[in-house]
Structure 1
Amino acid sequence: MQLNFEVPSALDHFACLVGHDVAFPVLEAATSLALDAAPDLDVQGVLLQVDGWVERLRKSIPVGATALQRTFMLNAFFYEKLGFAANANDFANPANSYVHHVLQTRRGIPITLAVLWMELAQGIGLKVDGISFPGHFLVKVHVDEGIIIQDPLSGLGLTQAMLSERLEPFREGWGLAEEEMAPLHLFLMPASGREIIERMLRNLKSVYVEEEHLDLLLGVLHRLIVLRPLDADCYRDRGLVLAQQGQRDAALKDLQNYVRMAPAPQDLPVIEARIELLRAEI
């Protein structure tokens, strides 16, 4: 009797990684986002490289070092010895969201650097959280003296005044008066692993929409739907991309799901008209 074993796809692997919120493997899930663009990527090799850095760091930390001391040592290791920094000259490059590429170049965007930094921090026993701050992902470190809010591009600690200043353009963009703005602490809530990966995917989505790279955009939308299966907008967006690619039946199914799931969508007439066009195709 011949047994046929089907090799799981990259999307199947991603679905397994994000299937549960307990012990969510942020670094592995984040690294796997590059598999559509780099199918031969050795995800486990990336994890091993980061594990090696954790071991180097552990060996350099004196016994009894406080959380604050470990934070300082991690920052020196990450930003000075390893040389991680912002990719200031090419911020919109999708490779900034690919963990393996950031490891090679030591340049990235806030959220990718934060994912790497937090993996090292947890490896040396620090309690850390990611913060999905508007416009710029941040990290939070819990130390005996209190809480440090840190910019993952530089390791710079941010005061309340600095954080409020960073929020000001968003308040103005949202058309809110100062007294209508939510308190600062609400913008500093910890981001779950699922939320971190979602933000990374949405960053990639924006880049691929701008570049009109439909194949890679479709891969991102597949992952967003795996991650957020109840998000109606993802079905609409994927349906429209599938329609552009000539995948009529799949596009129809997604757009119909959007109409069924979305609560009173403003673009309903447009989407219904697109559905009718697809139905009319032979």
Structure 2
Amino acid sequence: MGTNPLSPKENFARAIRCPDEEINLGAAALYAASSEFPDLDVIAYQGRIAQFGTKVKTLLPADYTNFEFVNSMHEVLFGKTGFTGDSKDYFDPRNSHLNEVIDRLKGNPVTLSIFYIEVARVAGEKVRGISLRKHFVVVVGTGEDRIYVDPFHGGGFLSRKECITNILGKDNVKHGDFDDLERKYLKPASNRAILRRQLSNLKVAHEKHKQYELALSASERIQLVDPANLRNLSELAHLQTKVGNFGDAVDSLTLFLERAPDGSNTEQAESALRKLKSLTIRGSEDSSE
């Protein structure tokens, strides 16, 4: 007797149900996309990622340096294949779906970085993501030999000063201790943080296109990745209200108020909850007539 296949949401939940360092970013990102692409073949796309990784590996000398590794990645991904950032239509939702990035050869900084990280993993290198202000890059190597790479801008190099300046602003890094600033501000992002940022980009893109059901789906996945994220819980309730899921919105806002730290300004949430409860009561009365 066969078992029922898992839903896209269940597959995504299973992909992240492990210690953070064990999460396969590529698989998780593809399972997240499968909610909008029901026929998406996750294994096939993982195979395509593996092909890129194998090509990189064949270019590497036996005892390669970080610089040689980055050059090989650049040749395969940006030189021969032409991956690039979509600066013309940045908020196109397709830029936040890994399958679409692989098909279209363009995306946003986070999804291109996920792709870079996964190709590098197949090629034998652990590359980490770095969150900047309104941007995202990757770092190859550790310590003094680390190299910052910008997949959105054709795999170009960034200095640590450029990365820190992006976060703090030009006036705040003129005379800074760059070793100290690098340790403090350029810490690698966790896998869950990367997925959360990718899904947040997707949610914003759908909201800009007034695709509220799809924005809600992205918000639900953010909640799976980061259950303690109060901001997303509030936004989840807003989107549930937007699409008419008033009962779910009541549950989300109730949970938000239960978890809000003491002393928080929750007036707006409390007011919204009262209105939602009256709507659900009115709706149940109308349906019983």
Q: Is the 8 A contact 1:68 1:143 kept in 2?
A: no
- Distance in 2 (CA, whole Å) between partners of 1:167 and 1:4 is 52
Q: Which runs of 5+ in 1 are unaligned?
A: none
Q: Is the 8 A contact 2:199 2:218 kept in 1?
A: yes
Q: Secondary structure at the match of 1:33?
A: helix
How big is the shift at 1:235? 2.3
Change (3 A) 1:269 1:65: closer
Change (3 A) 1:128 1:44: same
- Distance in 2 (CA, whole Å) between partners of 1:199 and 1:66 is 30
Poorly superposed stretches of 4+, deviation over 6 Å: none
In structure 1, give the amino acid aligned to 2:4: E
Q: Considering Cα pairs closer than 8 Å and 6+ residues apart, tell me whether 1 or 2 has the greater RCO.
A: 1
Residue matched to 2:253 = 255
120-129 or 23-32: bigger deviation:
120-129
Q: Show CA shifts across 1:240-266 (max 9, x none).
A: 222232222222111111111111475
Change (3 A) 1:58 1:178: closer
- Distance in 2 (CA, whole Å) between partners of 1:170 and 1:213 is 37
Q: Report matched runs for 1:155-166 at 5 Å.
A: 155-166=155-166
Q: Is the 8 A contact 1:239 1:255 kept in 2?
A: yes
Residue matched to 2:58 = 59
Residue matched to 1:152 = 151
How big is the shift at 1:58? 2.1
90-99 or 60-69: bigger deviation:
60-69
Match of 2:229 among 215, 220, 231: 231
- Give me the CA root mean square deviation: 2.6
Q: Which runs of 5+ in 2 are unaligned?
A: 283-289
The answer to whether residue 268 in structure 2 is matched with residue 270 in structure 1 is yes
Residue matched to 1:47 = 46
143-152 or 128-137: bigger deviation:
143-152
In structure 2, give the amino acid aligned to 1:202: S
182-191 or 161-170: bigger deviation:
161-170
Tell me which protein shows more helix as a share of its residues: 2
Q: Show CA shifts across 1:197-227 (max 9, x none).
A: 0110111122222222111011111111111
- Distance in 2 (CA, whole Å) between partners of 1:249 and 1:71 is 51
Q: What is the number of equivalent residue pairs in this alignment?
A: 275
Q: Show CA shifts across 1:49-76 (max 9, x none).
A: 1112222222333333333322211111
- Distance in 2 (CA, whole Å) between partners of 1:232 and 1:29 is 22
Q: Report matched runs for 1:47-196 at 5 Å.
A: 47-142=46-141, 146-153=145-152, 154-169=154-169, 183-196=181-194
Q: Please, what TM-score do these two structures have when normalized by structure 1?
A: 0.88
- Distance in 2 (CA, whole Å) between partners of 1:263 and 1:209 is 28
Residue matched to 1:244 = 242
- Distance in 2 (CA, whole Å) between partners of 1:45 and 1:104 is 12
In structure 1, give the amino acid aligned to 2:109: P
How big is the shift at 1:267? 5.2
Residue matched to 2:17 = 19
Q: Secondary structure at the match of 1:190?
A: coil
Q: Please, what TM-score do these two structures have when normalized by structure 2?
A: 0.86
In structure 1, give the amino acid aligned to 2:252: D
Residue matched to 1:10 = 8
Q: Secondary structure at the match of 2:124?
A: coil
How big is the shift at 1:124? 2.0
215-224 or 262-271: bigger deviation:
262-271
Q: Show CA shifts across 1:4-51 (max 9, x none).
A: 733211111111011112411101111222223222211111101111
Once the two structures are aligned, what percentage of the paired residues are identical?
24
Q: Is the 8 A contact 1:201 1:224 kept in 2?
A: yes
Residue matched to 2:219 = 221
